[in-house]
């Protein structure tokens, strides 16, 4: 069940029985969901090891800045209006998973910075990722050339 309040109650959050009400600042909406706790499975451990490895690559500061400014333009696209990406790190993970989906020979659990440069993978810069169609084109995407 989703709740949309047209006339406000901005910031209304809390619980009512098993229902949790949350306020989304980016969209300016209040929504509700059931208060459930996920069960840990093998997939959780696999995702955690992939995430730890990808952030172990330690992207450069200019690369992170490019991801941030790309993110601002990405969220401005009409298609992404209702489902914005919240941070550069989410966009980074999205890019890496799209790259692995496009090329099954890439193992995200063992990917290294050296392998990225050696194989000239599209995640090396935001511009190359857009050219490889891993990310959609946004305004001034050609300027995001800083390398990982």
Same domain, residue pair 20 and 54: no
Query: Higher pLDDT residue, 1 or 110?
Result: 110
In a domain, 51, yes or no: yes
Could you give the CA distance from residue 125 to residue 148 in angstroms, rounded to a whole number?
6
Residue 25 in this model has a pLDDT that exceeds 90:
no
- Any idea of the CA torsion for 105, 52, 23, 83, to the nearest 10 degrees? -20
User: Dmax over Cα atoms in the chain, in whole Å?
Assistant: 55
Please state the φ and ψ torsions of residue 62, each to the nearest 5 degrees: -65, -35
- As a whole-number percent, the residues of the chain with pLDDT over 70 amount to 86
Same domain, residue pair 83 and 138: yes
Could you give the CA distance from residue 83 to residue 76 in angstroms, rounded to a whole number?
11
Same domain, residue pair 112 and 129: yes
Same domain, residue pair 138 and 79: yes
In a domain, 108, yes or no: yes
Mean pLDDT over each residue of the chain, to the nearest integer: 82
In a domain, 148, yes or no: no
| Domain range enclosing 50 | 42-143
| pLDDT tens digits, 66-80 | 999 999 999 888 888
Same domain, residue pair 65 and 23: no
Same domain, residue pair 2 and 58: no
């Amino acid at each position: 069940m989703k709740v949309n309040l047209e006339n406000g109650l901005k910031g209304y959050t809390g619980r009512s029985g098993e229902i949790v009400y949350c306020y989304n600042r980016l969209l300016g909406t209040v929504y509700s969901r059931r208060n459930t706790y996920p069960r840990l499975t093998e997939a959780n451990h696999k995702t955690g090891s992939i995430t730890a490895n990808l952030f172990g690559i330690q992207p450069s500061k200019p690369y992170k800045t490019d991801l941030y400014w790309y993110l601002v333009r990405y969220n401005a696209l009409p298609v992404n209006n209702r489902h914005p990406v919240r941070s550069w790190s989410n966009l980074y993970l999205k890019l890496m998973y799209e790259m692995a989906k496009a090329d099954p020979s890439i193992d995200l659990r063992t990917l290294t910075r050296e392998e990225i440069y050696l194989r000239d993978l599209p995640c090396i810069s935001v511009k190359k990722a857009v050219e490889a169609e891993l990310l959609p084109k946004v305004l001034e995407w050609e300027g995001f050339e800083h390398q990982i």
